[in-house]
């Protein structure tokens, strides 16, 4: 029977299926961080159970860490305790930790791929919804809650019902200045913030194939923003080339054996999807969000929908959202003044993102009134940026290059956007208060964010390149 890539991986990992209920799914890799793991460790200890497969867990500190002076003790007490708790728990339970100060430290969804921990055909979970990022390698990867973190620690398994499957085909060539971030923002704007709830999504088509691994990760990363359980892309030569030689990628004969298996991971010709969506890449322009959920996005030259363009039932929530954002229904977004630019998060903080931004800003200077934060996704990205001289480019442009962490993506550390201020951000969520109480977030690609840093307002990047 023809199978989708999802089914091929899923079927291999089912330990048993409960009659009329979920399946017991075996998990290959479990990533943990300081925020959603402490209660799981504690739960395990309360039950008197040991971590079942500590070698299949990798930990890092990212959500709550400062992005300046990481060598000093964390100032904020609760954050310090939480990060320390992770150190203690990992030590006690023999879990490998890439914590503050470690050359591998970084955002959990950045370090997994860059270290070669993330591999095709795997099942990967983490107590974080953007675990979907790892699907870019052709893995089943999804976010879980803390009780589930405890389950995986206890048994390396989860109880899961098989989701429905959706395929999104993006074909054709992208316009100059349009990045993978624009593709995913466009898709979410098309199908809404709940358009893929209950589904696992496979992205396919020539425009996806042509993307680098970094670009693919950006797309899979935001699958959750349309409600999908996860997103994935079949592995190919781009995937294999990216993985080869990474610290935890297989080597020698093991590599060959794995490669043979990885090459079988694609959706068969007649495989069945519950839903299929086709998108023409030529229709996508640089995107930006104007509202308080990621589905509220438009092309940068477009206008914010007028009230009467919105379904009547949804008008009150729509107007509430615009009030929060301080924006007018029916107005255009281009030219809107911004106060902050944040280039970072597990969506867009990889070396490719930083390189692209640097190549655009080289020889340019930021607008006076704008504060620009560049937060690399990991220590390795930071190191590489310095080796390539990218840090100097940022410095000359007046950009502030910080140290790795989630930072203003969720504003759990000190990196908060002040109330009422506008931040053009390469992260993934524009929810109310996400970047700080009453902060106003406009989601966009790294290039669109960089353009705004230079001009001080929402800008069509195509006019500058």
Partner 1 sequence: MSKAIDKISSTAVPLNQENIDTDQIIPARFLKVTSRDGFGENLFRDWRYNSDNTPKKDFVLNNPTYHGKILVGGKNFGCGSSREHAAWAIKDAGFDVVVSSFFADIFKNNALNNFLLPVTVSDEFLEKIFAAIEKDPETVIAVDLATQTISLPADNDPAKAGSASEKFDINNYKKTCLLNGYDDIDYLLSIRGEIEKFEHTLI
Closest CA to 221 of 259, 187, 264: 187
Binding site for ligand SF4 (CB under 6 A): 62-63, 107, 109, 128, 130, 345-346, 406, 409-410, 427-428
- Asked if residue 317 binds partner 1 (CB under 8 A), the reply is yes
**Nearer to partner 1 (CB atom), residue 172 or residue 433:** 433
- Computed over its alpha carbons, how large is the radius of gyration of the chain? 21
* d(C-alpha 465, C-alpha 463), whole Å: 6
- Asked if residue 163 binds partner 1 (CB under 8 A), the reply is yes
CA angle 202, 221, 240 (to 5 degrees): 65
Residue 18, binding choice from ligand SF4, partner 1, none, Cβ under 5 to 8 Å by partner class: partner 1
Q: How far is the CB of 441 from partner 1 (least distance, A)?
A: 11
- Asked if residue 148 binds partner 1 (CB under 8 A), the reply is yes
- Asked if residue 21 binds partner 1 (CB under 8 A), the reply is yes
In the 8-state DSSP scheme, what is residue 124?
A: E
- Asked if residue 141 binds partner 1 (CB under 8 A), the reply is no
3-state secondary structure 267-293: CCCCCCCCEEEEEEHHHCCCEEECCCC
Residue 432, binding choice from partner 1, ligand SF4, none, Cβ under 5 to 8 Å by partner class: partner 1
Q: How far is the CB of 428 from ligand SF4 (least distance, A)?
A: 5
Residue span binding partner 1 (CB under 8 A) among the ranges 142-150, 183-191, 213-221, 362-370: 142-150
Closest CA to 127 of 213, 39, 234: 39
Q: How far is the CB of 77 from partner 1 (least distance, A)?
A: 9
Q: How far is the CB of 225 from ligand SF4 (least distance, A)?
A: 10
* d(C-alpha 272, C-alpha 165), whole Å: 8
* d(C-alpha 395, C-alpha 445), whole Å: 21
When binding is defined by CB under 8 A, the residue of 15, 319, 386, 465 that contacts partner 1 is: 15
Residue 433, binding choice from ligand SF4, partner 1, none, Cβ under 5 to 8 Å by partner class: partner 1
Q: How far is CA 257 from CA 103, 231, 245, 254, in A?
A: 30, 25, 15, 5
Site track 397-436 with partner 1 (rule: CB under 8 A), x = hit:
-------------xxx------x---------x-xxxx--
When binding is defined by CB under 8 A, the residue of 79, 289, 348, 459 that contacts partner 1 is: 79
Side-chain-facing half-sphere of 266: CA atoms under 13 Å: 13
Residue 204, binding choice from partner 1, ligand SF4, none, Cβ under 5 to 8 Å by partner class: none
Q: How far is the CB of 421 from ligand SF4 (least distance, A)?
A: 19
Q: φ, ψ for residue 51 (rounded to 5)?
A: -65, 130
Residues 6+ apart with CB under 8 A from 151: 157, 158, 159
* d(C-alpha 132, C-alpha 200), whole Å: 10
Q: How far is the CB of 207 from partner 1 (least distance, A)?
A: 26
- Asked if residue 198 binds partner 1 (CB under 8 A), the reply is yes
């Amino acid at each position: 029977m023809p199978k989708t890539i999802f089914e091929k991986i899923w079927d291999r990992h089912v330990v048993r299926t409960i009659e009329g209920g979920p399946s017991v799914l075996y998990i290959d890799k479990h990533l943990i961080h300081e925020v959603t793991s402490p209660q799981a460790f504690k739960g395990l200890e309360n039950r008197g159970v040991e971590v079942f497969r500590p070698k299949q867990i990798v930990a890092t500190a990212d959500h709550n860490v400062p992005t300046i002076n990481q060598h000093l003790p964390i100032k904020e007490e609760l954050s310090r305790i939480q990060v320390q708790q992770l150190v203690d728990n990992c030590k006690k339970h023999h879990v490998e930790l890439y914590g503050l100060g470690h050359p591998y430290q970084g955002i959990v969804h950045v370090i997994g791929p860059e270290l070669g921990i993330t591999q095709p055909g795997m099942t990967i979970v983490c107590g974080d919804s953007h675990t979907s990022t790892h699907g870019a390698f052709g893995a089943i990867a999804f976010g879980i809650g803390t009780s589930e973190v405890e389950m995986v620690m206890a048994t390396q398994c989860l109880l899961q019902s098989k989701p429905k499957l959706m395929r999104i085909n993006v074909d054709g060539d992208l316009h100059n200045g349009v990045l993978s971030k624009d593709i995913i923002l466009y898709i979410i704007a098309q199908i809404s913030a709940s358009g893929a709830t209950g589904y696992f999504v496979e992205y396919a088509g020539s425009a996806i194939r042509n993307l680098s691994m970094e670009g693919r990760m950006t797309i899979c990363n935001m699958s959750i923003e349309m409600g999908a359980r996860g997103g994935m892309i079949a592995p190919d030569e781009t995937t294999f080339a990216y993985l080869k030689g990474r610290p935890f990628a297989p080597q020698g004969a093991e590599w060959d054996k794995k490669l043979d298996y990885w090459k079988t991971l694609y959706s068969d010709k007649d495989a069945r999807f519950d839903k299929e969506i086709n998108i023409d890449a030529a229709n996508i322009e640089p995107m930006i969000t104007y509202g308080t959920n990621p589905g509220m996005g438009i092309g940068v030259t477009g206008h914010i929908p007028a009230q009467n363009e919105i379904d009547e039932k949804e008008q009150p929530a729509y107007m509430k959202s615009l009030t929060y954002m301080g924006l007018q229904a029916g107005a255009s977004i281009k030219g809107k003044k911004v106060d902050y630019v944040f280039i970072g998060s597990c969506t867009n903080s990889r070396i490719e993102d930083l390189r692209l931004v640097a190549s655009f800003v080289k020889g340019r200077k930021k607008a006076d009134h704008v504060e620009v934060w560049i937060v690399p996704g990991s220590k390795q990205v930071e190191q590489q940026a310095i080796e390539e001289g990218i840090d100097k480019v940022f410095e000359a442009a007046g950009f502030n290059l910080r140290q790795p962490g989630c930072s203003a993506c969720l504003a759990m550390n000190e990196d908060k956007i002040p109330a009422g201020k506008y931040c053009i951000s390469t992260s993934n969520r524009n929810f109310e208060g996400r970047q700080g109480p009453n902060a106003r977030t406009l989601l966009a690609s790294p290039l669109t964010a960089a353009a705004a840093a230079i001009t001080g307002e929402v800008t069509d990047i195509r006019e500058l390149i």
